[in-house]
Amino acid sequence: MTIQINTDKTINSDHKMQEYFTSQIEGTLKRYESLISRIEVYVKDENGSKDGINDVSCILEARLNGRQPIAITSQAGTLELALASGMSKIESALESILGRIQHH
């Protein structure tokens, strides 16, 4: 499973941030590894340098083997919360896809 993290210019995409995102994604999606070829993460700050509530947007797109990709969007006040919310949503989407696969 390849993980690609993309940020806008307002987000500091340093090595530590990349490692944090990668470890969170790998840990959460480990059991779906055989289904997923690639995870694309797009993170941006909707308000730039201005403060705002839930202004960090995180889009997660999972490229599934032999299936349509799925994408979810989450917003929160911090990178970590936006990622956590996004991981929860993508895990739910994968669960429902897995359920449909197993029932066919």
Q: What residue segments make up the domains of the chain, in order of their start?
A: 2-102
**Cα–Cα distance for residue pair 65/50, rounded to 1 Å:** 40
Strand 70-76 to 56-64 pairing: antiparallel
Residue owning tokens 């993980």? 3
Angle at 92 between CA 1 and CA 75, to 5 degrees: 90
CATH number, domain 2-102: 3.30.160.100
- What are 70-89's pLDDT values in tens digits? 999 999 988 999 999 999 99
Distance in angstroms (rounded) separating the CA atoms of residues 90 and 83: 10
What's the pLDDT band for 48 if we cut at 50, 70, 90?
low
Alpha-carbon distance values, 16 to 12, 38, 61, 88, 92 (Å)? 10, 21, 22, 22, 27
Predicted confidence band of residue 49 (pLDDT cuts 50, 70, 90): low
